[in-house]
Protein backbone atom coordinates (compact mmCIF):
# COMPACT_ATOMS: atom_id res chain seq x y z
CA UNK A 1 0.00 0.00 0.00
CA UNK A 2 1.50 3.35 -0.99
CA UNK A 3 1.77 6.21 1.52
CA UNK A 4 -1.20 8.20 0.18
CA UNK A 5 -3.51 5.16 0.20
CA UNK A 6 -2.40 4.29 3.74
CA UNK A 7 -3.06 7.88 4.86
CA UNK A 8 -6.61 7.84 3.41
CA UNK A 9 -7.22 4.41 4.95
CA UNK A 10 -6.13 5.63 8.42
CA UNK A 11 -8.25 8.78 8.15
CA UNK A 12 -11.32 6.74 7.25
CA UNK A 13 -10.93 4.60 10.37
CA UNK A 14 -9.77 7.12 12.97
CA UNK A 15 -12.44 9.77 13.29
CA UNK A 16 -11.05 11.39 16.43
CA UNK A 17 -7.70 12.36 14.86
CA UNK A 18 -5.61 10.84 17.66
CA UNK A 19 -3.09 9.29 15.29
CA UNK A 20 -0.73 11.86 13.86
CA UNK A 21 2.56 11.56 12.02
CA UNK A 22 2.29 7.76 11.94
CA UNK A 23 1.89 7.58 15.74
CA UNK A 24 -0.63 7.74 18.52
CA UNK A 25 -1.00 11.00 20.44
CA UNK A 26 -0.04 10.93 24.15
CA UNK A 27 -3.62 11.82 25.11
CA UNK A 28 -5.06 8.89 23.17
CA UNK A 29 -2.50 6.51 24.67
CA UNK A 30 -3.42 7.80 28.15
CA UNK A 31 -7.13 7.32 27.47
CA UNK A 32 -6.62 3.82 26.05
CA UNK A 33 -4.41 2.82 29.01
CA UNK A 34 -6.95 4.19 31.50
CA UNK A 35 -9.69 2.06 29.94
CA UNK A 36 -7.48 -1.04 29.91
CA UNK A 37 -6.44 -0.86 33.56
CA UNK A 38 -10.03 -0.34 34.68
CA UNK A 39 -11.93 -2.62 32.30
CA UNK A 40 -9.61 -5.27 30.85
CA UNK A 41 -8.97 -8.19 33.22
CA UNK A 42 -5.95 -9.16 31.09
CA UNK A 43 -4.26 -5.79 31.64
CA UNK A 44 -1.16 -6.00 33.85
CA UNK A 45 -2.51 -3.14 36.01
CA UNK A 46 -6.11 -4.35 36.29
CA UNK A 47 -5.50 -5.77 39.78
CA UNK A 48 -4.65 -2.26 41.06
CA UNK A 49 -7.57 -0.49 39.38
CA UNK A 50 -10.54 -2.41 37.97
CA UNK A 51 -10.26 -5.24 40.49
CA UNK A 52 -10.32 -2.64 43.30
CA UNK A 53 -13.44 -0.95 41.95
CA UNK A 54 -11.77 1.96 40.13
CA UNK A 55 -13.91 2.65 37.09
CA UNK A 56 -14.17 5.06 34.17
CA UNK A 57 -17.30 7.21 33.96
CA UNK A 58 -19.68 6.42 31.10
CA UNK A 59 -18.96 9.76 29.40
CA UNK A 60 -15.26 8.91 29.08
CA UNK A 61 -15.87 5.67 27.22
CA UNK A 62 -15.74 8.05 24.23
CA UNK A 63 -12.30 9.48 23.46
CA UNK A 64 -13.88 12.64 22.07
CA UNK A 65 -15.58 13.35 25.42
CA UNK A 66 -12.38 12.61 27.34
CA UNK A 67 -10.49 15.19 25.25
CA UNK A 68 -13.32 17.74 25.52
CA UNK A 69 -13.19 17.46 29.32
CA UNK A 70 -9.44 17.14 29.87
CA UNK A 71 -7.95 18.93 26.88
CA UNK A 72 -4.43 18.18 25.72
CA UNK A 73 -1.82 17.56 28.37
CA UNK A 74 0.08 20.77 29.15
CA UNK A 75 3.53 19.26 28.57
CA UNK A 76 5.38 15.98 28.21
CA UNK A 77 5.97 16.14 31.99
CA UNK A 78 2.23 15.77 32.69
CA UNK A 79 0.14 12.62 32.95
CA UNK A 80 -3.40 11.77 34.05
CA UNK A 81 -3.94 11.89 37.83
CA UNK A 82 -6.95 11.09 39.99
CA UNK A 83 -7.31 13.77 42.68
CA UNK A 84 -9.01 11.35 45.08
CA UNK A 85 -7.29 7.98 44.64
CA UNK A 86 -10.31 6.16 46.08
CA UNK A 87 -12.60 7.42 43.32
CA UNK A 88 -12.68 6.54 39.63
CA UNK A 89 -11.85 8.40 36.46
CA UNK A 90 -14.32 11.25 35.84
CA UNK A 91 -14.04 14.94 34.95
CA UNK A 92 -14.42 16.15 38.54
CA UNK A 93 -11.72 13.79 39.86
CA UNK A 94 -8.99 14.04 37.21
CA UNK A 95 -6.30 16.49 36.23
CA UNK A 96 -3.06 16.62 34.27
CA UNK A 97 -0.29 16.52 36.88
CA UNK A 98 3.49 16.33 36.99
CA UNK A 99 5.30 13.35 38.50
CA UNK A 100 6.06 15.40 41.61
CA UNK A 101 2.38 16.33 42.06
CA UNK A 102 1.37 12.70 41.59
CA UNK A 103 3.92 11.44 44.11
CA UNK A 104 2.37 13.73 46.74
CA UNK A 105 -1.06 12.32 45.89
CA UNK A 106 -0.19 8.68 46.66
CA UNK A 107 -1.87 7.04 49.65
CA UNK A 108 1.57 5.96 50.93
CA UNK A 109 3.09 9.46 50.95
CA UNK A 110 3.78 10.75 54.47
CA UNK A 111 3.42 14.38 55.48
CA UNK A 112 5.21 16.13 58.34
CA UNK A 113 4.69 19.41 60.17
CA UNK A 114 6.42 21.62 62.73
CA UNK A 115 3.40 23.90 63.09
CA UNK A 116 4.82 26.55 60.76
CA UNK A 117 5.46 24.32 57.74
CA UNK A 118 3.85 21.13 56.45
CA UNK A 119 5.02 18.93 53.60
CA UNK A 120 6.53 15.70 52.42
CA UNK A 121 9.91 14.57 53.70
CA UNK A 122 11.59 16.03 50.60
CA UNK A 123 9.77 19.35 51.02
CA UNK A 124 10.67 19.52 54.73
CA UNK A 125 14.31 18.77 53.96
CA UNK A 126 14.37 21.55 51.36
CA UNK A 127 12.61 23.92 53.81
CA UNK A 128 15.32 23.48 56.45
CA UNK A 129 18.19 23.12 53.97
CA UNK A 130 19.28 19.49 54.38
CA UNK A 131 19.32 16.47 52.06
CA UNK A 132 16.36 14.11 51.93
CA UNK A 133 18.66 11.30 53.12
CA UNK A 134 19.67 13.30 56.21
CA UNK A 135 16.03 14.22 56.87
CA UNK A 136 15.06 10.54 56.68
CA UNK A 137 17.90 9.54 59.01
CA UNK A 138 17.06 12.24 61.56
CA UNK A 139 13.34 11.53 61.65
CA UNK A 140 13.93 7.78 61.90
CA UNK A 141 16.46 8.18 64.74
CA UNK A 142 15.46 11.43 66.46
CA UNK A 143 11.74 11.63 65.54
CA UNK A 144 12.48 15.17 64.31
CA UNK A 145 14.38 16.85 61.48
CA UNK A 146 16.09 19.40 63.75
CA UNK A 147 17.26 19.16 67.36
CA UNK A 148 15.13 21.28 69.61
CA UNK A 149 12.32 21.50 67.04
CA UNK A 150 9.15 19.45 67.30
CA UNK A 151 8.14 17.79 64.05
CA UNK A 152 5.24 15.39 63.83
CA UNK A 153 4.05 12.89 61.29
CA UNK A 154 0.58 13.88 60.05
CA UNK A 155 -2.27 11.49 59.38
CA UNK A 156 -2.64 10.52 55.70
CA UNK A 157 -5.08 12.74 53.88
CA UNK A 158 -4.30 15.89 55.89
Q: How many CB atoms lie within 10 A of CB 56?
A: 20
Helix %, strand %, coil % of the chain (to 5): 45, 15, 40
Residue 1 has pLDDT above 70, yes or no: no
Q: pLDDT tens digits, residue range 29-74?
A: 999 999 999 999 999 999 999 999 999 999 999 999 999 999 999 9
19 pLDDT band (50/70/90 cuts)? low
Global pTM value: 0.70
Domain boundaries, the chain: 3-104, 111-153
For position 156, what pLDDT does the model report? Answer: 63
d(CA 105, CA 110): 10
How far lies 53's CA from each of 44, 59, 89, 123, in Å?
16, 17, 11, 32
Q: For 152, phi and psi rounded to 5 degrees?
A: -130, 150
For position 100, what pLDDT does the model report? Answer: 86
Amino acid sequence: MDAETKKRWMQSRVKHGAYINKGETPEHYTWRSMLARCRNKNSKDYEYYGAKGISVCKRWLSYENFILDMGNRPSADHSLDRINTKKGYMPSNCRWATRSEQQKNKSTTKFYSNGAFSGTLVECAKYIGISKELAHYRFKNWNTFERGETWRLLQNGL
